[in-house]
Structure 1
Amino acid sequence: MSIVTTKSGTYSPREEWRSLALVGGIIAAIGFLAIVLPYATGIALTYVIGALLVLGGIAHAGHAYAARGWKGSIWQASLAVVSILAGVVFLANPVVGLLSLTLLVIAFLFVDGMAELGTSLRMAGEPGRGWIAASGVLSLVLAIFLWSGFPVDAAWVVGVVVGVSLFTTGLSMVAVAYGGRRAGEDVTQPAAEPRSS
């Protein structure tokens, strides 16, 4: 699939809405599968992250070897050891990796909720304050809910979070594509001719 540019040389959803809608539909479908199969998604992500950690550790080790004599080479070697060990743990026991990822999600929601509530307190009298506070409360409620169900929730949390993110991203791409299509139709329709009196 090639992306055709407009006359000005830039991509335009008005003219290329089909490719955007197709890609958005594929991403939404992948997100839906991740929501339906959250455990499999979480395990798959754990393997991917484990492999990336090992590769990152190898890169650090290579740099530490190449930079022998540099004061930062010990730091690079330490990062290599930590990255490779964490990657091996994720690959050897993906359930442990999934538990770790779930704890990261819970920690993120807690910190995000506290940050948004703090921001809303500093926004006295400004528009949107209520929405930010509500978002912060929701993040905190989710963090508490997930923590109360841990470690059982680890079987579905990561997969559902990733799935929802992909699904909503895909739907937004489809919406933008069809919005571009409608805008293109409006432009191509000839204007009504004025009546002669």
Structure 2
Amino acid sequence: MSIPTSAFGGQPVRPMRSYWLLFVIEGLVLLVLGALAIVVPPIATLGITIFIGWLLLISGVVGLVMTFAARHAPGFWWSLVSGLLGVAAGLVLLAWPVSGALSLTLVLTAFFIVEGVASIMYALDHRRQLSGRWGWMLFSGIVDLVLAAIIIAGFPGTALWALGTLVGINMIFGGASLIGIGLHARGTT
């Protein structure tokens, strides 16, 4: 009988039961952070905007460094444009996070619209093929369109809470999932 090993280095894999408490702790942290994001969504929205600003700035700078290091490689000018765009977008979000939150909210709204339409079409395609459970996908698409309509109807005021609230909800569901996994792993042998 062989001992299970990790795909990333051949190290022996410990049973999930060994880590159950870590999953529960991480889940609890996510629950608390998610609840805070929902209770104070404007602060969470600004925090998310600033975080994305730093991500874009750092990725742009790294992209520029790599572009100039490989300046004789094909695609130099496209890589240069990409790096400059990352730096510029990051600086804009960091310099004007409130305006950045407005822009990110519009991007989120566009995503909900496209995702909603795609989900509805996907569901209808499955209905024609007589596959089961297509109604859940249809419902998901409708929810996406309703969220987009709510954000558009209240814009620009919704920019204060939309990002923070939605990230908070995501964190709560992620935290609850981790707690569930941890508690289940605790009971396994």
TM range (shorter): 0.7 to 0.9
Hey, what does 2:15 align to over in structure 1?
12
| Partner Cα separation in structure 2 for residue 140 and residue 149 of structure 1 | 14
Compute the TM-score of the two structures, normalised by the length of structure 1. 0.83
| Partner Cα separation in structure 2 for residue 114 and residue 13 of structure 1 | 39
Tell me the amino acid that sits aligned with residue 123 of structure 1.
Answer: H
What is the percent sequence identity of the aligned residues?
A: 33
Paired residues of 1:13 and 1:20 also in contact (CA < 8 A): no
The residue correspondences of 1:27-42 to structure 2 (distance < 5 A) are: 27-42=30-45
Hey, what does 1:44 align to over in structure 2?
47
Higher alpha-carbon Rg:
1
Report the CA distance between 1:167 and its aligned residue: 0.9
| Partner Cα separation in structure 2 for residue 119 and residue 107 of structure 1 | 18
Hey, what does 2:8 align to over in structure 1?
none
| Partner Cα separation in structure 2 for residue 69 and residue 183 of structure 1 | 56
State the SS of the aligned residue for 1:17: helix
Q: Kindly tell me: are residues 67 and 182 of structure 1, through their superposed partners in 2, closer, same or farther at Cα, counting changes over 3 Å? A: closer
Which residue of the other structure, out of 118, 123, 131, is the alignment partner of 2:136? 131
Gaps spanning 5+ residues in structure 1: where?
1-6, 185-197
| Partner Cα separation in structure 2 for residue 52 and residue 86 of structure 1 | 10
Which residue of the other structure, out of 135, 147, 156, is the alignment partner of 1:151? 156
Report the CA distance between 1:82 and its aligned residue: 1.3
Compute the TM-score of the two structures, normalised by the length of structure 2. 0.87
* Aligned residues between the structures: 178
Gaps spanning 5+ residues in structure 2: where?
5-11
State the SS of the aligned residue for 2:16: coil
The residue correspondences of 1:1-197 to structure 2 (distance < 5 A) are: 9-124=12-127, 125-184=130-189
Hey, what does 1:190 align to over in structure 2?
none
RMSD: 1.7
Deviates more, 1:161-170 or 1:51-60: 51-60
Tell me the amino acid that sits aligned with residue 175 of structure 2.
Answer: G
Q: Kindly tell me: are residues 183 and 89 of structure 1, through their superposed partners in 2, closer, same or farther at Cα, counting changes over 3 Å? A: same
Report the CA distance between 1:71 and its aligned residue: 4.2
